[in-house]
Amino acid sequence: MPADLIVGIDLGTTNSLIGAMDAGFPILLADAEGRRLTPSVVYFPESGEPVVGRAAEPSRTRAPERTVYSVKRLMGTRTGEVDTADLSYRTGGAAGGPARVRIGAEERSPEEISALVLKKLKADAERALGAAVSRAVVTVPAYFNDAQRQATKTAGELAGLHVERIINEPTAAALAYGLDKLGDRSKIAVYDLGGGTFDISILELNAGVFQVLSTNGNTRLGGDDIDTALAEHLARQLAAMVPEFNLNPASPALRAEARRVKIELSDATETQARIDYKNHRTLFTRLTRAEFESVVLPVVEKTRSHCLRALADAKLAPGELDAVILVGGATRMPLVRALVAEIFGREPDTSQNPDEAVALGATIQAGILSGAVRGVVLLDITPLSLGIETFGGLTNVIIPRNTTIPTKAGEMFTNAVAGQRTVRIHVVQGEREKAADNWTLGAFELDFTAGTRGSARVGVQFEIDTDGILHVLARDTKTGEEKVVEMRSAVDVSDAQVEQMIAESVDHAFEDYHARLLVETQLKSREMLPAVRHALELAGAALPIDARANIDALTAEVAAALEGEDLERLKAANAALDAGTQELATLLMEQAMDEALERRGVV
């Protein structure tokens, strides 16, 4: 094996896979038992080494409190941010700190647990390849934020893998489908319905370069919900047959049977569900595909609105797509395929194994990096806007949502108060106007030379690297004093909250617009009041008494309006004070002219 060997890894919520290029082809590597799918499950026995993968699966029912699954949901999140009520194991971590998993008296980070899955994949790959593996490309959902990407990278490093590149799952899938061979400006939809999550992404291929145009989805929607709906249906059917047999739809046996029936009905049009009853008797119930589909249709239908939103965000009509591809095991269901065909007005391409497409794509990307594959470059986008907090608590966006990365953008800021010596750079992510409504990625302070209000010049630059990691640079342009902060420990937003943020920004659009106007108008008032006071002092007795009284009244009205939140009243008060001080402004201007002329000895 060449020294520049790089593996591709799909680190999934339910299953993970690893691949490598072999003689110019991407291949997925199997474990010692010949299986390519490794369950992302880790069992921590009371004593001894953790058990990883398929061997840990039975512990999910035997030792649910010590068996960790779906840890991807916790990666890069803070405590309380992700709903953990449905997990069989306990979570912990300090309030507001990084989310952790609690096993007995011990706590472990999601990164450590993912690292155990990655270590197993690495060991399996090394056995299959007969060579050491130390470099990898790892995939993440397109909506993963900076903290979640960083956590994924950390997990890789903990497993002894240098993560060369983090790439988006839909981009990887498109590569696996060979969509890099499509014509220029091709538009592709990637519909990914896995066990527990649904993602829809719209990509554009432009001169051999992939860009993610938009993403949408639901982090709590997938094949598991189909199992739940079917298990409930089967429980009802069996209860009708044997009323005294009170079957819990959540029982592992019934769920497993529902899942088996579901998978069978992807090929067969009719099957039987079997449930053990007391005294070794078994109950049978017949189920047609049509019946099954009517039971699970509400679950599958939920994906429609996300697809429509992704299309709208990409500003595309379904007819403008050149390809629709399917990822995730649940897309094997004929009902899902029919719905996708209906939404997008074209048959989806089903030529790839939907469980393996992402891992194959990661492997192709690894091949591109190591030089084994040539001619394709991948670009991704920022799922949420990134900015900093400015005067009045407003968000100043520096990199808007859906910007292609890598990217760099900057802005110049100044001091709000005279004599200020430090500026706090509060980095936020989100779509809301007020910084407090967005999520904090981090904050730091920069010292600068004190001066009059507005005299400081602080340049702030945001740079997002190819892995989607944000580096923030702040520099006092006068002294050259600067700080570069990598938003590395930035554990903040969860995947579910990304969706929520976008929905909220739409829901609160009007209110946010109003809030921004109010803050801006308040800032204007706060600037005017001291300026008018200063001008009155300068004018002294030169200003007629009634004019002064009028300005005092207008000033009092601005101050009073500032106490409340009535935007219209404040705007009117500002405008009135503006108009009412014209005479004063003219007077001061004349005074200044006279003084200047006097100084020059003209008068």
Which residues does the annotation mark as catalytic? 10, 72, 169, 192
Q: Measured in whole angstroms, how far is the alpha carbon of residue 135 from the centre of its chain?
A: 25
Among 124, 164, 355, 492, binds ligand AMP (CB under 6 A): 355
Exactly one of 328, 361, 430, 442 binds ligand AMP (CB under 6 A); which one? 328
Closest CA to 414 of 391, 443, 444, 434: 391
350 or 461, CB closer to ligand AMP?
350
Closest contact distance (angstroms) between CB of 12 and ligand AMP is: 6
Residue 14 binds ligand AMP, judged by CB under 6 A? yes
Q: For residues 330 and 394, which CB has a smaller minimum distance to ligand AMP in the complex?
A: 330
What is the closest distance, in whole angstroms, from the C-beta atom of residue 197 to ligand AMP in the complex? 8
Structure tokens at 54: 């398929």
Q: How far apart are the first and last CA of the chain?
A: 93
Contacting range for ligand AMP; rule: CB under 6 A; set: 138-146, 318-326, 328-336, 455-463? 328-336
Residue 257 CB coordination number (10 Å): 19
Nearest approach, Cβ of residue 266 and ligand AMP (Å):
3
Contact with ligand AMP (CB under 6 A) among 333, 360, 364, 570: 333
In this complex, which beta carbon is closest to ligand AMP, that of residue 264 or of residue 504?
264
Residue 388 within binding range of ligand AMP, rule CB under 6 A = no
The dihedral through the CA atoms of 345, 331, 26, 165 has a sign that is positive
Interactions with ligand AMP, residue window 508-527 (CB under 6 A):
none
- Closer by beta carbon to ligand AMP, 12 or else 468: 12
- Verify binding: residue 329, ligand AMP, rule CB under 6 A: yes
Residue 488 as a binder of ligand AMP (CB under 6 A): the answer is no
Do 65 and 88 touch, CB atoms closer than 8 A?
yes
Nearer to ligand AMP, 230 or 384 (CB): 230
Q: Does 266 bind ligand AMP (CB under 6 A)?
A: yes
> What string marks each residue from 214 to 233 as x (binds ligand AMP by CB under 6 A) or -?
--------xxx---------
Which one, of 376, 383, 411, 416, lies nearest residue 396 by Cα? 411
Minimum CB distance to ligand AMP, residue 227 (Å) = 7
Cβ distance 60 to 403 under 8 Å?
A: no
Name every residue whose Cβ is closer than 8 Å to that of residue 596 and which is 6 or more positions away in sequence: none
Among 8, 26, 50, 194, binds ligand AMP (CB under 6 A): 194
Burial of 308 (0-12, 13-18, 19+ CB in 10 A): middle
1 vs 213: CA distance, rounded Å = 37
Does 190 bind ligand AMP (CB under 6 A)? Our answer is no
- Min dist CB 564 to ligand AMP, Å, is 53
Residue number, 79 or 363, with CB nearest to ligand AMP: 363
CB of 172 to ligand AMP, least distance (A): 13
Binding to ligand AMP in span 139-178, by CB under 6 A: none
Q: Are strands 106-108 and 100-103 parallel, antiparallel or unpaired?
A: antiparallel
Q: Which among 434, 421, 420, 419 is positioned nearest to 388, based on CA atoms? A: 434
Pick from 60, 255, 332, 434: which binds ligand AMP (CB under 6 A)? 332
Q: Which is nearer to ligand AMP, 163 or 333 (CB)?
A: 333
Nearer to ligand AMP, 353 or 414 (CB): 353
Q: What token pair was written down for 569? A: 């009243």
Minimum CB separation of residue 259 from ligand AMP in Å reads 5
Of 260 and 453, which has the nearer Cβ to ligand AMP? 260
The first and second tokens of residue 289, run together, are 């595909």
Smaller CB distance to ligand AMP: residue 266 or 500? 266
- The answer to whether residue 195 forms part of the interface with ligand AMP (CB under 6 A) is yes
CA nearest neighbour of 87 among 101, 77, 108:
101
What character string, x for contact with ligand AMP (CB under 6 A) and - otherwise, covers 236-265? -----------------------x--xx--
- State the nearest-atom distance from the C-beta of 523 to ligand AMP, in Å: 50
Residue 273 Cα to chain centre, angstroms: 39
* Rounded CA separation 149/153 (Å): 6
What's the rounded Cα separation, in Å, for the pair 262 and 248? 19
Q: By CB under 6 A, which span of 10-18, 237-245, 281-289, 485-493 interacts with ligand AMP?
A: 10-18
The answer to the question of residue 53 lying near ligand AMP (CB under 6 A) is no
Task: Measure the CA–CA gap between 415 and 424, rounded to whole angstroms.
Answer: 10
Residue type, 338: A
In sequence order, the 6+-apart residues with CB closer than 8 A to the CB of 563 are none
CA distance 403 to 385: 8
Backbone angles phi and psi of 312, in degrees to 5: -60, -45
Q: Is 15 in the site for ligand AMP (CB under 6 A)?
A: yes
Q: How many CA atoms lie within 13 A of 297 on its CB side?
A: 9
Site size toward ligand AMP, by CB under 6 A: 18
Q: Is there binding between residue 124 and ligand AMP (CB under 6 A)? A: no
Amino acid at 7: V
Contact stretch for ligand AMP (CB under 6 A) within 311-319, 327-335, 439-447, 567-575: 327-335
**Shortest approach of ligand AMP to residue 270 CB, angstroms?**
15
For the CB of residue 378, give the shortest distance to ligand AMP in the complex, in Å.
Answer: 21
Selection from 54, 46, 51 nearest residue 14 by Cα: 54
Strand order in the sheet with 67-68: 51-52, 42-43, 67-68
Using CA atoms, how far residue 147 sits from 203, 288, 343, 469, 488, in Å, is 23, 45, 33, 8, 7
Report the nearest approach of ligand AMP to the CB of residue 199 (Å).
11
Cα–Cα distance, 381 to 213 (Å, whole number):
7
Is residue 39 part of the contact set for ligand AMP (CB under 6 A)? no
Between CA 55 and CA 63 the distance in angstroms is 13
Span from 8-16, 112-120, 301-309, 391-399 in contact with ligand AMP (CB under 6 A): 8-16
116, burial (CB in 10 Å: exposed 0-12, middle 13-18, buried 19+): buried
Residue of minimal CB distance from ligand AMP?
223
Site residues, ligand AMP (CB under 6 A): 12, 14-15, 194-195, 222-224, 259, 262-263, 266, 328-330, 332-333, 355
